[in-house]
Amino acid sequence: MFEELKKRSIKKRMFPAILLLIIGGAALVFLFPRVMGAMKGNIAFETLAPDEIRANLLVDVTLDANFGCYIEEYEENTQTHYTRTTDLYYVIWTGDANATDYRYMGIKVPASDEKKMEAMAEATYYNEPCDPIMYNGEIQKMPDEDYEFLREYFMGAGLTEEEFEEYTLPYFINTEVIPTNSAVVSCTFAAFALLFVLIGSWMIISAIRGGRLKTFKKELADAGFGEAEADLEYQGARIILKPDDFRIGRRLTFFMIGSKPHVLLNDEIVWAYQKTTTHRTNGIKTGTTYSVVLNTIDKKKYESQNVFTKRQSEISVAGEQNALETLEYIGQTMPWVLLGFDNDLNRLYNKDCKSFLDIQYFKVDHNQLI
């Protein structure tokens, strides 16, 4: 029995655990260079050689030259069709004024800087000095479409394809990324990704080592059953729903909530009813699920076993017919259990459980077992 429950628990645990590992692992791979860049802090862009420039580096830029705008980004009001320029992309070069090995790449600046950047472009064209503009941001890989715009810009300036490939880098500095915020966000997301990996690993290890059976074993001990006696009960129980191992035996009821197996002493079940849940997306019905709710004589005794409520064990079933058949079988094997939901019964069960038990529980001989 324990081995079978362990296998079922591992099987149910595996999918969410692997999903967490995949999401967390992929996020860590994506965020790793950003975190490394954040740990290094801002680098003076002018000190970077062309082969040192890569995505995710945080840089401080002292810009004293640019070679014109190659992309203009704008947004349009869909109602008035009014357009407004939001950002501009300018061609800059790497290194400082004394660099002998340099490449051309891009920098993204807000449209409010257009006047200063155009004045700098003119000064660069005439080889005149100008006041530098200070920026900081993150080096990012150019999208393919943007790189094509850069290619067209240089082709229009008379460069050959070979010269373009030799003298340009497919990167740009995004000055809209605030380095401090970028570092904080990257490290925060990386921490969550690592947490996902740790939780996923723990879920798998815990299931393999039988950790999901601890509550089940305690519930068996509390019910006064040894392993051999419980195994006989388990093997002889009627299977209600195989995937969740929902079984009703002569003295015990077995079921799983999530990946954790549980057991209830039949003698302590006092009320059972069907619960129907209608699922909707944007107001449209997308499906219906059914479950059987089991309420016990001791409202607090089983509160650790159910994530849904403190007083109930809610067990999913295959459908409405399965729910009805389950309740019918409970009525046959546990005649002291009150069947069916009623608001008055619910109030009585919660406020005056003894009076609730007087309705049926105390009126039936609990030795009437099949």
Report pLDDT for 163. Answer: 93
Q: In terms of residues, how long is the chain?
A: 370
* Closest CA relative to residue 17, chosen from 198, 240, 192, 160: 198
Averaged over 2-12, what is the pLDDT? 72
Report field, pTM of the whole predicted structure over 0.85? no
Parse the chain into domains and list their residue ranges: 34-186, 213-363
Which residues does 291 contact at the CB level (< 8 Å), separation at least 6? 274, 275, 277, 314, 315, 316, 317, 323
Is the pLDDT assigned to residue 279 strictly greater than 90?
no
Is the pLDDT assigned to residue 300 strictly greater than 60?
no
Is the pLDDT assigned to residue 304 strictly greater than 80?
no
Confidence of residue 133 (pLDDT cuts 50, 70, 90): very high
Report pLDDT for 369. Answer: 53
Averaged over 259-276, what is the pLDDT? 86
Confidence of residue 219 (pLDDT cuts 50, 70, 90): confident
State the Cα–Cα distance between residues 53 and 39, nearest whole angstrom. 17
Contact 258, 344 (CB under 8 A): no
pLDDT digits (tens, 9 = 90+) for 69-112: 999 999 988 788 788 999 999 999 998 877 788 999 999 999 99
Is the pLDDT assigned to residue 351 strictly greater than 50?
yes
Query: Across all residues in the chain, what is the average pLDDT?
Result: 84
pLDDT digits (tens, 9 = 90+) for 197-215: 999 898 888 777 766 778 7
Report pLDDT for 203. Answer: 83
Contact 220, 253 (CB under 8 A): no
Confidence of residue 336 (pLDDT cuts 50, 70, 90): very high
Averaged over 242-247, what is the pLDDT? 74
Is the pLDDT assigned to residue 38 strictly greater than 70?
no
